[in-house]
Amino acid sequence: MSIKKGLFLLFIFVGMAAHAQNIRSQATFRMLKTATSLMEAQQFDAAEEYFKKGLEKSRASNDLYCQAFAQEGLGNLYTKTDQPEKAIVAYRVAIKLYRSQGLSVIANIVESLLKSVQGIGELYAGVEIGAKGIKLSVIEVKLSKDREYDYSLKADTAINTDAASLSYQSEKETEDAISLLLDIIKFRYQVPAKRTYIVISSGLKQELDKYNKVDYFANVIRPKNMDSLIRITYVTAAQESELSFLGIVPQKYRFNTDQLDVGGGNTKGGYFNANKQFVPVTFPLGTKSFQRLIESRQLGAQGDLNEYLKTAEQIMKDSLGRLMVYEFANKREFKSRDIVYLSGGIVWAIASLMHPQSISNNYIEITSHDIAEFRKLIYSNFEDVTQPDVTLISNTEDAKASLRNINRVLKTYDQRAMLAGAIWLDELIQQVNTINPTKKFVYPKYAYVGWISGYIIKNVTRQYTGLVN
């Protein structure tokens, strides 16, 4: 997976005012500034002339800052004009000159630009501690020549634990799992501690908050030999919503698209409004917690599917339907959008069983009709809907991959779990569609590492903030 992430406009004037005393000739610097403006205006030939003339003058006056500035400008110019060899030479000289003057922030920025031209990325590791398991994501982050972040998922794995049970056994299992994943991060992928993040998910935090045990839990699961640079932090549902959005939705759709993650413990998502502020959409219930609620209120025999369905629909009618209406009451902008990026275990199940031929696609379109039909078939025709005909897939490898994926779905969810999830999702989508019923729903295949990817990307993009003084 390689998806463009947030625009990374590196303004080359970082530290300029603080180091104005290093500029020996303002005339030379104005020449270089003109070169920069010409380059941004796509006047590349003229920009190169100005950069080279400014470099010549700065050498004559032994102006190290302007020499570095000129070399950096030439590196940017050659990158834009697809001359990577020249860009690499210019950037290396600029880095050396900046470091010789103690300008480490600018030197580090230019080093990122150099790695971008060389196609070198940096690995980051994220460990998500959830209510039912721990997920590891190793992501390579690169800058494209257009100065946008690209990230590639290099590894993802999970270890099942039951952290939400808050027992001594589950705490020990969680600690052991973190220790094992840290060894993988350090020794297999050589990711340094400063680029390793461990985060308690919002769903687990929600459970821990009931007993005021968030800080206790973070301390008790911390392996004794864990590097002190690595912290165990947590996110709220609202924070996780924004991070999921950043990690899942492509940059070009960021300000006209919605996102919803239908998790086991809660449901969260959101959108960026007209002022480009993120507006979260959150529900304290998800597919698993809804299932538990059904089972706790079911009056008839626990094995009776008819009674299970009747109880679920009654709960929706009595209270949860109103909860959805209330949450969306002042979010007309969300309901009017044309595209919703939809993720979560139940969405994965629907995509896998209703669209098995799309196994190799990173993005799968799911219609509201698919969701409603799945809800009906899981109850009335479970065997048929869970055994789609993969022989119709022409590519043999895709057919095998699709069958493996379907088997994973069936090992993860039984009929009741799928029915609870389908009811919750279908009712949610009906509410989302009240203004614009023609909207498109897109399932991103790698959404399960979305918010931890967003967490990493957000930390990468703010690595230079707070250094201005």
CATH number of residue 132's parent domain: 3.30.420.40
Both structure tokens of 346: 């139940």
Q: Give the residues across from 280 on adjacent strands.
A: 270
Q: Is the same domain home to 263 and 303? A: yes
How many helices, marked H, and strands, marked E, lie in the chain?
19, 12
CATH number of residue 435's parent domain: 3.30.420.150
Is 260 in contact with 240 (CB distance < 8 Å)?
A: no
Is residue 226 assigned to a domain?
Answer: yes
Convert the pLDDT of each residue in 281-306 to its tens digit: 988 889 998 999 999 988 765 668 99
Nearest CA to 291 out of 427, 424, 130, 428 is that of 424
Of 212, 234, 256, at which residue does a domain stop?
A: 234
Q: CA 72 to CA 113: how far, in whole Å?
A: 9
Is residue 455 assigned to a domain?
Answer: no
Chain centroid to CA 112: 21
Q: Is the same domain home to 277 and 260? A: yes
* Structural domain of 189: 122-234
Convert the pLDDT of each residue in 216-264 to its tens digit: 999 999 999 999 999 999 988 788 888 888 888 887 888 999 999 998 8
For residue 264, the 8-state DSSP code is S
Is 442 in contact with 366 (CB distance < 8 Å)?
A: yes
Q: Is the same domain home to 172 and 264? A: no
Q: CA 368 to CA 243: how far, in whole Å?
A: 25
pTM passes above 0.85: no
Q: Is the same domain home to 129 and 262? A: no
Convert the pLDDT of each residue in 44-82 to its tens digit: 999 999 999 999 999 999 999 999 999 999 999 999 999
% of the chain beyond a pLDDT of 90: 61
Q: Is the same domain home to 256 and 398? A: yes
The residue with tokens 């990173």 is: 362
71 SS3 class: helix
If one counts the domains in the chain, the total is 3
Nearest CA to 274 out of 340, 337, 328 is that of 337
% of the chain beyond a pLDDT of 70: 91
CATH number of residue 110's parent domain: 1.25.40.10
Banded pLDDT at 121 (limits 50, 70, 90): confident
